[in-house]
Structure 1
């Protein structure tokens, strides 16, 4: 531009930018919008985190039960004689006609009778006789109602948990895999006579009954 004297006029200063301050009415709206965005983000992320956690749990569970041994056992014949089983402890097969009563035994039980319990869907926990009293008590506390527990010489591990057709060797009474095994197999679904249970069996660890005296 040219001024009155014909000289170029100095440039006009540009106006300073106007900074709008958040008034007291707008601030709550902004905070509410931020809070809503955070809630929405949490809602979107939570299911993803849950799936990841569940996936890790399932993977760990599969890993922990990967050492479970299983067999297809079809022989369910009754016999009063001794049976040579391929597993130690046995996980099924021919067995005595009398089963053992549910509970904890402080001496070894006759395996032919225990196998009859397995046929009924019973859980059989065996442990090394040298296991401490505290460890034995800890195992007994975890024994299902439909379960028997007994010491056994020559076990391949300190503790072995068995159902019909499935077995897991444990490192001790505090082995966390016991809980996983009971969760997976404790309902007796692998047993031929699911739901019969160990109720009504003989309390004699060697299979004796009051009327017969013995079943061998």
Structure 2
């Protein structure tokens, strides 16, 4: 094994987590908790709109969510480590992803650390998963979804898998996040996998 291979093998997996202002703050918060359980290093950036959503949906303050991450950055800090392609990470998940954030990333007009970090993932050909939370969609939304997909992102709307027969909202969230982390070859053990037969 070369020196470079040993260095990569010894580093903990590292993911950037973005929370933007769409409904579904529970996805981002639960994702941070799962990453902690899995010993995956998390680098967090939260938009100002997401702070409002966190307060409204989960009665959580920004500091409460930041405490779940290994490292946290202000969304205005465009000089943060995650704004550079030279900072080594394994990918990024935006959970949830608002249409505004989607649109910034789709056009490359990145006015915040959140959208800049996502743009870095695309330019460095790293995995970017966007849990876009909006419905219904108009043609402009659909064009933006196509643009980020063509640029290399994975659009993953948080659509429940009812074949798993979830008994609670928490089970639905865990199943969805388990499938998102599957995209990074991380098994959370929260996914009830379809084996071709009904339970």
Give me the TM-score of the superposition, normalised by structure 1.
0.24
More helix by share: 2
Give me the TM-score of the superposition, normalised by structure 2.
0.26
Higher Cα Rg: structure 1 or 2? 1
